[in-house]
Amino acid sequence: MNLPTGHNNPQPVDAAIVPRFGAIPTFMRLPYITEPTQVDIALIGVPWDGGTTNRAGARHGPREIRNMSSFMRKVHHVSRIAPYELARVADLGDAPVNPIDLMDALKRIEGFYAKVHAAGAVPLSAGGDHLITLPIFRAIAKKRPIGMIHFDAHSDTNDRYFGDNLYTHGTPFRRAVEEGLLDPKRTVQIGIRGSIYSGNDMEFAEKSGMRVIYMEEFAKLGVEKTIAEARRVAGDGPTYVSFDVDGIDPAFTPGTGTPEIGGLTTLEAQHLLRGLQGLDLIGGDVVEVSPPFDQTGNTALVGATLMFEILCLLADASARRRNR
Amino acid sequence: MNLPTGHNNPQPVDAAIVPRFGAIPTFMRLPYITEPTQVDIALIGVPWDGGTTNRAGARHGPREIRNMSSFMRKVHHVSRIAPYELARVADLGDAPVNPIDLMDALKRIEGFYAKVHAAGAVPLSAGGDHLITLPIFRAIAKKRPIGMIHFDAHSDTNDRYFGDNLYTHGTPFRRAVEEGLLDPKRTVQIGIRGSIYSGNDMEFAEKSGMRVIYMEEFAKLGVEKTIAEARRVAGDGPTYVSFDVDGIDPAFTPGTGTPEIGGLTTLEAQHLLRGLQGLDLIGGDVVEVSPPFDQTGNTALVGATLMFEILCLLADASARRRNR
Amino acid sequence: MNLPTGHNNPQPVDAAIVPRFGAIPTFMRLPYITEPTQVDIALIGVPWDGGTTNRAGARHGPREIRNMSSFMRKVHHVSRIAPYELARVADLGDAPVNPIDLMDALKRIEGFYAKVHAAGAVPLSAGGDHLITLPIFRAIAKKRPIGMIHFDAHSDTNDRYFGDNLYTHGTPFRRAVEEGLLDPKRTVQIGIRGSIYSGNDMEFAEKSGMRVIYMEEFAKLGVEKTIAEARRVAGDGPTYVSFDVDGIDPAFTPGTGTPEIGGLTTLEAQHLLRGLQGLDLIGGDVVEVSPPFDQTGNTALVGATLMFEILCLLADASARRRNR
Amino acid sequence: MNLPTGHNNPQPVDAAIVPRFGAIPTFMRLPYITEPTQVDIALIGVPWDGGTTNRAGARHGPREIRNMSSFMRKVHHVSRIAPYELARVADLGDAPVNPIDLMDALKRIEGFYAKVHAAGAVPLSAGGDHLITLPIFRAIAKKRPIGMIHFDAHSDTNDRYFGDNLYTHGTPFRRAVEEGLLDPKRTVQIGIRGSIYSGNDMEFAEKSGMRVIYMEEFAKLGVEKTIAEARRVAGDGPTYVSFDVDGIDPAFTPGTGTPEIGGLTTLEAQHLLRGLQGLDLIGGDVVEVSPPFDQTGNTALVGATLMFEILCLLADASARRRNR
Amino acid sequence: MNLPTGHNNPQPVDAAIVPRFGAIPTFMRLPYITEPTQVDIALIGVPWDGGTTNRAGARHGPREIRNMSSFMRKVHHVSRIAPYELARVADLGDAPVNPIDLMDALKRIEGFYAKVHAAGAVPLSAGGDHLITLPIFRAIAKKRPIGMIHFDAHSDTNDRYFGDNLYTHGTPFRRAVEEGLLDPKRTVQIGIRGSIYSGNDMEFAEKSGMRVIYMEEFAKLGVEKTIAEARRVAGDGPTYVSFDVDGIDPAFTPGTGTPEIGGLTTLEAQHLLRGLQGLDLIGGDVVEVSPPFDQTGNTALVGATLMFEILCLLADASARRRNR
Amino acid sequence: MNLPTGHNNPQPVDAAIVPRFGAIPTFMRLPYITEPTQVDIALIGVPWDGGTTNRAGARHGPREIRNMSSFMRKVHHVSRIAPYELARVADLGDAPVNPIDLMDALKRIEGFYAKVHAAGAVPLSAGGDHLITLPIFRAIAKKRPIGMIHFDAHSDTNDRYFGDNLYTHGTPFRRAVEEGLLDPKRTVQIGIRGSIYSGNDMEFAEKSGMRVIYMEEFAKLGVEKTIAEARRVAGDGPTYVSFDVDGIDPAFTPGTGTPEIGGLTTLEAQHLLRGLQGLDLIGGDVVEVSPPFDQTGNTALVGATLMFEILCLLADASARRRNR
């Protein structure tokens, strides 16, 4: 997949010709290409929320993120990264799912990503609830555990629910560590907050070696030092960016299943993401956008914009790897 | 359970003393009583939508139906049935569920209803999606198949989805017939409409002997003849009333998962229900109220009012059985 | 006030010059005139819901009805009545109110209408909750009791609430009869429905001689016979039209405090109103539009349109009286 | 274009494999095909509301109608028409528009439809405001005037606005008659209602020979006689179906720019459309769905369902022409 | 009331067994206990907004705060306070009110709280509008004036409205000082802002000795110095925490009657509250959550979370007093 | 126009007599005065969004800003400016527009403002989209170019769209510079952000000499230094304040056509505006409030409050000029 890139790359529809409200909405108004070998970065929807223990709705996330991604333009105004110059990017459509059978859904999702990974494409996904990250990891991190920059209100390292259920959107990263997919020592969690079930809730995250930056610590550290700490933890190895929109305050992202007040602002989130440029980023996702709870549409707009921010990082990382 | 009833029965909170927006909301503002032997009619929530193949949200139905049921008063203005005089009625809380494991959820629900049934109480349930009716039937119709008056836009007699999944909110009544719980010859479906997958969609319903009154036939028959036909089909045997709010037009009930335009008005639905007085009714439910899609709250109000209509029927049937 | 009318009458802003969304919104886009002697028909807002026992919000009714009344044009498409040719009509602004003192509010409202009445102007009001009709009656019906065509889901002839409170939006017409303002034998109530507190709820209405047409009777009579019955009851005497928007089904008018399903359609309501042409109409109101519960704005649109329907009736009656 | 059709025709995505909330939304979940010669019936969005004199928003109509069209299945449950068996149908994307230059937009739209028409494809469009029908007519009715079955609250035969502007969504059918595109004697308008500017508003429609069935006349005629009258007017010639969703009551379709209460129910609208089977139908549109005013999404659902109803008619007409 | 506490205390429903959307919603999912002697801290709803001079709706606050409080867990993630270990806490239901008689409502509320106070329970209330704090003070501060930490956009020390009305939600703290219930010298107001009626608006607050920290001063001081100042003012005496959600910016809390832009963030509010640990806190309330204006539900979520924050403070203070 | 001002100036309706939800809504509840010679500061609505390339709706801005401006009181709580003491201020109604002809609309708006300017009144406008500022400039800056403090997410200095269209809401300030109305060297833009079409997007703004303070620079500078820079750029000359509400983060102002996440908070915006006191301010506007996308009404509240902030600045500047 180390093909040359440039002006023949897929390009978004031009908003000075086709207005933003026009045309069938794909991610970033890019072409819909189903063949992963034709892209460097694959934008993928995972319309599934079968792991949700409280308010469902993230199954509708990909459609509304696609809708709102029509607002995105072509160049990042701060980093000046032009992702469609640096990489071949397209909308690969949605991963297959099963809304009524959790275990089957996990398999279908993994299978889809395995093909994308085999084709050498880097996945950037729109969830869906946070459990989707587990089958993605199973597809892309089989050979060696990866690091992760994880934005979230919740650690998602719980053990089980409703008796003995191991797989919910509250458990993916415990499972990922247990399965050897995620390296906890190269994992940083940012924005964690909210009341807890017991004093032991964070035990797994902390004992396994994850670096947990609670919202309160973030408020003290500020953006720059948090970036430095995240970079220190992730190091040089392959790293994934997983962004649960409930890491942001629900004034900005009301459309999510488990909102917690007192979160990040979107400006802070953007600054944090921009600080990750230069890491060896190999994938990313934006999850837990839940349109039925998103009356203003702002959550989907935040989701689309964060996808664009991560896309710029991935395109830059992709170009760096090509030029190495 | 043939105890005398009357003024010592549980009564709703008095709205001339505690305003309707006050107090913790139970069904009909009745006491919360967890012991089924203390009631004749058990009002039960089933906060579960794990069988939903499209838009989830019915898991939130019981809470909002309880909220809106505060509008209900004590006597039916047409039939003059005073249900709390005729029967001991209470809110029994919610059946246990499991939002991430369909098969486990079906078992938990069945178990709860088995206890209610064993105590001799008649259940009136607020869903939840329509698959909840299957475990209810497993609990109350084990000994002999029952008849059903079924209001719905869809026949819910599909076979399977997403590969080989037998249990979704589109399949409960095929399963119920196959399991010997539902007598198709004593089953009438009213309000069926909407585009279909193929010309064979209604094959099971029709071949098994269900009487399907499409919306178009209803428009021609009118209310009175439809009632007569429903009574003819149900006959004298034990009969259940299952009301999917998508049987009603989505102008009235937008908050549902699979809306179909061109449905019943609420006035027609009320008239149809009132026409069932005198049947041997042994239970009922109102399902598919989905609050995240119910911006005006009207769907939950319709749900609560239909529950009150059915409650009057059940209280009357209960009193008749007692007096036999 | 038997002045000649015609082309010098106040006229609405022209929508082919100033678009409907432009300009400060007055009722029907008419001039704002504070002097009642300058008009034949006074359009008045009563932004008050202090008599509301459940969901407040009708205090915001006049503003949103004014907003939506920008949709109204100048001539009735069926009766061809051109109200602004027949009568001098203007927006007189809002009656003074007191949101925190019920008894003071009733006095302020009565005082305002007394001046309007003394000037010879016929009032057409936008509520506010239904208790506002009582002080209006005190101002305009002091000399002799009047008749009423009353559209509503509720009879509003209850006695007291919350201990000994005599004045709520559930009691105005019992009070009006007791005070000799309303002639119950010339009163007809249309659309009454919904569960009741006890079998005696309608006792006052029925014993006093009001003609109560329940929704169920209306469904059987149909529009034409209901009109005939209303005209028979009202007879030749002075008659007031009071329209509580909850008389209409909440699919059409969700934005109201005490919705009851199974109500009139707007088309039926319009046909019923049109059937009142020729009666000696001396005032009217549209009440219980509650914008905080009116997400689509449709309730305010219904309110504005019903005001226009009644305005045409009043202008016609006014012209007839002038020509007698 | 008289190619054989059948099982190789484009087919919708299968909802038993890909859930309805999944995949990039095209009309009816059909393939996106940009070459009109490959289809018999072209589903086209026209995201433009530049002719709107009051509340804009219909520019967002095609996206939301596409979203909601995921609810549609493959066979009509009453007529049993299976449109994808009878014809090759696909989503051709959106016509080009210009949101800030009305005259340029009309030209762009006409040019797009001219190509579709030249390819022999029958267009079925989702607006956009009602002015879009004018450039469509310019493209498809150049050779001879066509007939029209027109559902609407408004006649749309006004002359000019805001000085001398000839082109707004209130004028298309006067222009179409003047330009010789529309045969007024073969035009029927159903559902017309609402207050009017003056007694002369309907003069053009009536003098030119259009058959105007006001809502009030429809209420008396009923569905069957209205169908008969529409068929009589349209006769054997080529006929277009134009459906402005404000023809329906705003309880069903709140999301529209110029709502008028007292309209058709969706069931009536469906029955009326079904009655047009057998006419020589050569195109159709559903216009004035305005998502920013459509809080429940029901207007878009109505729009999508009416498109499916008209699609079945067009597929049937197309098959009949092929078999002639 | 100095009973031992611990594991036999009332506990919330376990969300790993009963999902958060299930069960009848009580505050924090705690048991509903009507006997105040059985609790140390009484969670109470006051569904009343009769003192509201502008937009009503806070009467619906307790229900929605209860709904959203299902999101709360058991332990504070920063202070590690486990309130249900430290104290017996329960939902005591709603105080009695009267929606149509202000003076009667004040008496009913006072009477209810007098019993709670006599039983030795500390009240934590969910309003309702801010006038409810006055009758609470009458019940709990009769013997000696108390101090107050008051979060609000408004000082609520106005004198009268609408003639001579002394009691509105803009006047409670002037009345409380006049009645000797509130010690102004031990009162601090945080977040005050917004345009004022005249330059004298704050005269009473300032002359009486209250410490007013305007939003602008807070922006300069920052969280830590504001906490220090609040602690200095409150000192060692018994102190009440009153939180009007309009103290927070309406981006976070749109659902309130008198929003003022430029307010606190929720994170700032949480930090401020956490800084009050160790004061001799004897009660608290969260008021002015108005669900009809809270389209996203976020205001109720903020209200529920602030209640949990204050509950932790009260449980800690309660345990300290017990251990003194 | 250097008339004495003071207590005979127009005053807002008193909220302690007429509640805020009462009366016909004018800007700030001021009198409606159509004669510009009678005012020093003219509050004007421009209900027009014909230059909008994406989501329309700002045409409804003036009405909702008027509605929400009822929340404003009479004195600024920080600066203590009492605008109605310092100047004669009134609502002059709406400028004439044309929703379907862009060029005609620009002429009508310019003509209206030319009269206001000729009368010596300072305009403060509520848009409408940002293109309205161009005709305002044509009316008030004909003689000499003016400076501008411009709050916005976008520079609005694009060249053309949809072929050769020169006039959209993305181009006004390039046109204003080209026409010699705006002095780019005395222009500062604050809050600029969001992805861009190409690396050259900001070329015109920067080459012409505008001072562009991107959101990222603002985050580093802070409020005080940004104010100092803005004052330095504007200098002593006549200066206009133009506030596009999308300069603020869409969590605060969701109701706008082109939201960009990561923007100003309202508190920052207020502080920035307050820092402009003392400049020679000669007009201002608040634009791009789009009610159809403003579900909570908060955007209109922000718009009304920013208008009040700017009004205080203009009244102060007006008094200073009078006293020079």
Q: How confident is the model at residue F236 (pLDDT cuts 50, 70, 90)?
A: very high
pLDDT computed for residue B324 by the predictor? 79
Is the CB of residue B51 less than 8 Å from the CB of residue B104? no
Q: How confident is the model at residue F6 (pLDDT cuts 50, 70, 90)?
A: low
* pLDDT at position B1 over 50: no
pLDDT computed for residue E162 by the predictor? 86
CA angle B144, B150, B151 (to 5 degrees): 165
Chain E residues closer than 8 Å to F73 by CB: 194-197
What are the start-end ranges of the H helices in D32-163? 61-68, 83-86, 102-118, 133-140
Q: What is the mean pLDDT of chain E?
A: 96
**F203 to chain D, minimum CA–CA distance in Å?**
24
Interchain CB contact of C215 with B (< 8 Å): yes
Chain E residues closer than 8 Å to F78 by CB: 214, 216
pLDDT tens digit sequence for F97-155: 999 999 999 999 999 999 999 999 999 999 999 999 999 999 999 999 999 999 999 99
pLDDT tens digit sequence for A178-200: 999 999 999 999 999 999 998 88
Sheet with strand F41-46: strands edge to edge: F89-94, F41-46, F122-127, F281-287, F239-244, F146-151, F182-192, F211-214
Interchain CB contact of D78 with B (< 8 Å): yes
**CB atoms closer than 10 angstroms to residue F323:** 7
**C248 to chain B, minimum CA–CA distance in Å?**
11
**E250 to chain B, minimum CA–CA distance in Å?**
21
Interchain CB contact of F168 with A (< 8 Å): no
Mean pLDDT of A30-55: 97
Is the CB of residue E150 less than 8 Å from the CB of residue E187? yes
Q: Do F21 and C60 touch (CB under 8 A)?
A: yes
Mean pLDDT of A121-139: 98
pLDDT tens digit sequence for C138-188: 999 999 999 999 999 999 999 988 888 999 999 999 999 999 999 999 999
Chains that touch D (3 or more CB pairs under 8 A): A, B, C, F
Q: Is the peptide bond before B128 cis (omega within 30 degrees of 0)?
A: yes
Q: Which amino acid is at A275?
A: G
What contacts A102, CB < 8 A, 6 or more positions away? Answer: A50, A51, A167, B100, B101
Closest chain E residue to C105 measured between Cα atoms?
A: E162
* pLDDT at position A135 over 60: yes
Crossing angle between the packed helical segments D266-274 and B215-234, to the nearest 10 degrees = 110
* pLDDT at position A212 over 70: yes
Phi, psi of F307 (to 5 degrees): -60, -40
Is the CB of residue A2 less than 8 Å from the CB of residue A322? yes
Interchain CB contact of D76 with B (< 8 Å): yes
CA distance E43 to D233: 70
Both tokens assigned to D18: 């890909």
Q: Do A54 and E19 touch (CB under 8 A)?
A: yes
Is the CB of residue C268 less than 8 Å from the CB of residue C223? yes
pLDDT > 90 in chain A, percent: 93
**C275 to chain E, minimum CA–CA distance in Å?**
37
Q: What is the mean pLDDT of chain A?
A: 96
Choice among A5-14, B69-78, B226-235, C112-121 with the minimum mean pLDDT = A5-14
CA distance A54 to F85: 55
Closest chain B residue to E66 measured between Cα atoms?
A: B24
First-to-last alpha carbon distance for chain B, in angstroms, is: 14
* pLDDT at position B98 over 80: yes
Chain F residues closer than 8 Å to D55 by CB: 60, 292
pLDDT computed for residue F162 by the predictor? 86
Is the CB of residue B58 less than 8 Å from the CB of residue B117? no
Pick the more confident residue, A160 or D221.
D221
* pLDDT at position A230 over 60: yes
Of E162, E263, E295, the CB nearest to F295: E295
pLDDT > 70 in chain A, percent: 98
Instruction: Note down pLDDT in tens along chain D; length 324 residues.
Output: 445 566 689 999 999 899 999 999 999 999 999 999 999 999 999 999 999 999 999 999 999 999 999 999 999 999 999 999 999 999 999 999 999 999 999 999 999 999 999 999 999 999 999 999 999 999 999 999 999 999 999 999 999 888 889 999 999 999 999 999 999 999 999 999 999 998 888 899 999 999 999 999 999 999 999 999 999 999 999 999 999 999 999 999 999 999 999 999 999 999 999 999 999 999 999 999 999 999 999 999 999 999 999 999 999 999 999 987
CA distance F253 to F245: 7
Q: Do B26 and E21 touch (CB under 8 A)?
A: no
CA distance F264 to F249: 5
Chain B residues closer than 8 Å to D262 by CB: none
Is the CB of residue B126 less than 8 Å from the CB of residue B65? yes
DSSP annotation of B294 reads -
Chains that touch C (3 or more CB pairs under 8 A): B, D, E, F
Instruction: Note down pLDDT in tens along chain C; length 324 residues.
Output: 445 566 689 999 999 899 999 999 999 999 999 999 999 999 999 999 999 999 999 999 999 999 999 999 999 999 999 999 999 999 999 999 999 999 999 999 999 999 999 999 999 999 999 999 999 999 999 999 999 999 999 999 999 888 889 999 999 999 999 999 999 999 999 999 999 998 888 899 999 999 999 999 999 999 999 999 999 999 999 999 999 999 999 999 999 999 999 999 999 999 999 999 999 999 999 999 999 999 999 999 999 999 999 999 999 999 999 987
**CB atoms closer than 10 angstroms to residue E205:** 23
pLDDT computed for residue F320 by the predictor? 96
pLDDT > 70 in chain F, percent: 98
Q: Which amino acid is at E93?
A: G
Q: Do F195 and A298 touch (CB under 8 A)?
A: no
pLDDT computed for residue B7 by the predictor? 64
Sheet with strand D122-127: strands edge to edge: D89-94, D41-46, D122-127, D281-287, D239-244, D146-151, D182-192, D211-214
Q: Do E18 and B94 touch (CB under 8 A)?
A: yes
CA distance A269 to B46: 39
Of F24, F93, F96, the CB nearest to C93: F24
Crossing angle between the packed helical segments B266-274 and B298-323, to the nearest 10 degrees = 10
* pLDDT at position E249 over 50: yes
**E111 to chain A, minimum CA–CA distance in Å?**
34
Q: Is the peptide bond before C128 cis (omega within 30 degrees of 0)?
A: yes
F contact test, residue of A21, A68, A71, A270 with most F CBs within 10 A: A71
Q: How many residues does chain A have?
A: 324
**B191 to chain A, minimum CA–CA distance in Å?**
26
Mean pLDDT of B40-56: 97
Q: Is the peptide bond before E278 cis (omega within 30 degrees of 0)?
A: no
Choice among D308-317, E54-63, F196-205 with the minimum mean pLDDT = F196-205
Mean pLDDT of B88-116: 97
Closest chain E residue to B93 measured between Cα atoms?
A: E23
Q: What is the mean pLDDT of chain B?
A: 96
**F271 to chain C, minimum CA–CA distance in Å?**
31
DSSP annotation of E125 reads E
Q: Do E194 and F270 touch (CB under 8 A)?
A: no
Q: Do D91 and A24 touch (CB under 8 A)?
A: yes
What contacts A244, CB < 8 A, 6 or more positions away? Answer: A130, A150, A151, A152, A153, A154, A156, A256, A287, A288
CA angle A78, A81, A85 (to 5 degrees): 155
**D189 to chain B, minimum CA–CA distance in Å?**
21
Interchain CB contact of E128 with C (< 8 Å): no
Closest chain D residue to B291 measured between Cα atoms?
A: D296
* pLDDT at position F3 over 80: no
pLDDT computed for residue C199 by the predictor? 80
Closest chain D residue to A18 measured between Cα atoms?
A: D96
Strands E239-244 and A122-126: unpaired
Q: How many residues does chain E have?
A: 324
What contacts E268, CB < 8 A, 6 or more positions away? Answer: E218, E223
pLDDT computed for residue B201 by the predictor? 82
**B168 to chain C, minimum CA–CA distance in Å?**
29
CA distance A42 to A93: 9
**CB atoms closer than 10 angstroms to residue E25:** 24
| Architecture label for domain D27-323 | 3-Layer(aba) Sandwich (3.40)
Interchain CB contact of D56 with F (< 8 Å): yes
Of B195, B201, B249, the CB nearest to D308: B195
B contact test, residue of D67, D69, D71 with most B CBs within 10 A: D71
State the DSSP H helix or E strand holding residue D104, giving kind and residue range, or none if neither. Answer: helix D102-118
CA distance F199 to F201: 6
pLDDT computed for residue D1 by the predictor? 41
Interchain CB contact of E195 with F (< 8 Å): yes
Interchain CB contact of C60 with E (< 8 Å): yes
Q: Do E305 and A261 touch (CB under 8 A)?
A: yes
CA distance A233 to A187: 7
Chain D residues closer than 8 Å to C265 by CB: 249, 251, 262
DSSP annotation of F130 reads G
Q: How confident is the model at residue F5 (pLDDT cuts 50, 70, 90)?
A: low
Of A21, A265, A305, the CB nearest to F54: A21
Task: Mark which residues 5-24 of E lie under 8 Å from A by CB.
Answer: 15-17, 19-21
Interchain CB contact of C59 with E (< 8 Å): yes
Interchain CB contact of A251 with F (< 8 Å): yes
CA distance A202 to C246: 53
3-class SS at C7? coil
Q: Do F75 and E214 touch (CB under 8 A)?
A: no
Chains that touch E (3 or more CB pairs under 8 A): A, B, C, F
Interchain CB contact of C231 with F (< 8 Å): no
Both tokens assigned to F171: 């181009």
Q: Do C165 and E98 touch (CB under 8 A)?
A: yes
* pLDDT at position A294 over 90: yes
**F221 to chain A, minimum CA–CA distance in Å?**
15
Is the CB of residue D307 less than 8 Å from the CB of residue D261? no
Interchain CB contact of B215 with D (< 8 Å): yes
pLDDT tens digit sequence for E26-37: 999 999 999 999
**B126 to chain A, minimum CA–CA distance in Å?**
18
Interchain CB contact of F76 with E (< 8 Å): yes
Domain layout of chain F by residue ranges: 27-323
